[in-house]
Structure 1
């Protein structure tokens, strides 16, 4: 079975099954296991004098081990590969999490804040409805790249070794890839490698969203606004989503009690948004997923 066919089946399986609670309430999810390993490495090797070299050696070792595990699992056959890919591609759970923010916001402002706090890292205590919606939509767009298109891309390129290497690097970046006193040096290697591995998937995600939303004509503006983002990759799907559903994203927000003045994305569009626009973003996430699935099928055919 070709990798493209296996990926197509994995995408469909994930869309149908998502993250079954009956399974992951009994067994640790592979992403959770990866997080535990990275947490142990952080405690063990990020000592009183953390260095870039130590962090780079750590992420290199994790990449090697993940690649070897991927090679070994590949010998178990296509069915195992499809199941692992479906587990590590998170389209269904992503849309479910974003949709819960819309449901919470329809119930009350505090419930909307509670739901969005589960998927964003910014301060949520004083968010109004528009800020809640922006947070949910931005998280959905960025995680479509990180959690769906990027793992699918690396599975397509390099099979299970590529998928597991991407997931361990992306998990490490989410845990230690921050410019904090503890992790600025130690997490440097993980953050830079994650940036590298997401260069193509982030732009591919933006293309899929723009195509699904009928805004490919705005690609120049999307690329310009993506370049203003603090991340070399996250701005691409965010800028595409903003134009696909005609909302203004990003802008000022608070982290750890400090307001930061980020530039607006698609700033001329609607600033007053809510649950309806979150719903539109969820629909766009599925449309972009559908375009990705069609692309996989075309690759499988040719």
Structure 2
């Protein structure tokens, strides 16, 4: 993992803060670069805050950040993102979903406490800027982008299915293109995520526990894989190039697990967005 990270010595190093692996990944960043980032490498970190008392927001964000900085052997990161989705205060999730205060941040808490906390961390020199996660609750995300201090960036779904897959448990349409358009209007950068939709847009899944919406998306994308086969192209490569060409998407955040995936990501970047005729063929499949 350390050698793979060193091989990717450009762009963003995105230190993951979820699923209990934040400290491990931050430590890998630290071992790879030993606190001395290569020229041009920028680092982000995330925190899944949820909805907590307002007086705890700054303390929780700073505590999470300080753990990451220590593990990565850095004094600051370029950006810290709110990693819990922003929801309307009165929204209720469908039965069977995790408690709403664990998985999401209320819009009022975001306005009253999260934004000021990030501003304070900037003043302290610990972060360069801040961003939000803009998935699932499109309307609330767009509200967060149009009033008051706005984030430097928003993470938005960017794939040819317009699907967050199993990440969505709201029962709402995700509307990622609307979120991206709102970000453009507000002058907010867009970090595209889920370019291959958790493997649904690849030739096969490599995770045995993949289930539910992601499996459904894989089946729905069969016509896309058939099209790629006719082109003689790797579906994952094509999906990444599609995501790179989505209007308004400024960069992609990729979950690269090995050097082959890293090589493919660099190849997609080198080749750039799809040709207009390729894009037209994909859109003709009516997958979104």
TM-score, with structure 1 as normaliser: 0.27
Compare the two structures and name the one with the higher strand fraction. Answer: 2
TM-score, with structure 2 as normaliser: 0.28
